[in-house]
Structure 1
Amino acid sequence: MARRKRGWRFELRKEGGEYVLEKYVYDQETGAWRLEGVYRGADADRVALTCPKCGAAATSFAMFLGKHIYLVHGGGGVKHKWHLHKADPLWLEYVSRLRALTVEVDDKLRAAIMDAIPAVKDEEARKILEAIAKARAIKIRVRNP
């Protein structure tokens, strides 16, 4: 029995500092790839970095044998991993934006946050700022450069 092809694939290029993503869908009847759409910027992130099984955003990426890029997300008791593309420099640059940025909270940053807290009117935002001020370091997930 012949192995069935995956139903979609992506092509990525960079135009003027912006990522352009082309999504192709495999047509079983004709046996050919058909262009489904061209996406730029945030739309490209929405299409490429979204889990095909449940629609959640990818939180990190993994390499398999140094040849393939897999995207991963977890949370809510569900963890999915899916193949994105073969590894090449442009794709690695694209997915490296998923890495978490760790910011050390030093005295200068803590003082700036404490000065900003009284001006914040939203109670939830105020609690978040107070928690950041008490922390030693925070991790921020960066999606866009």
Structure 2
Amino acid sequence: MNESRLIFETAILKRYFANRFLFSEVDGEEVLLVGVKSQSGKIYQIKIELSEMYPIEMPNAFIVYPKGLKNFKGKRLPEFSHQMHILENNSKGVQICHFLPGNWNPNQSLYKVILKIKVWIEAYEGHLKNGKPINDYLQC
């Protein structure tokens, strides 16, 4: 990410996620780590991978904490699920589908990615209560 974009993104994140975000390097890759709290009070950590092509290229976003997210029945979330808006579930965490690729453009911000992941988290917690897939909560 270039310096001017980093300044832009940091200013927005400081306003809405003060003291809950960190730009870092993990395994040689630039990432943004963000802590969010759900309406129920549970804490989650989001990891957003920032390629050298960000913001032209859409970033990947993962729930990395808590590890081993379960479904309504107490089983591991699937490795891929359209209904659950999951792209991957592996050692990196649960990769969330936050934008359709055709809807991504360089004017989107990391703040908006975080908000979409937060909406996913709220839908996930709804799923844990009643078993409905996340797709029932989100409009695509």
TM-score (norm 1): 0.24
- The structure that has the greater radius of gyration is 1
Structure number having the greater strand percentage:
1
TM-score (norm 2): 0.25
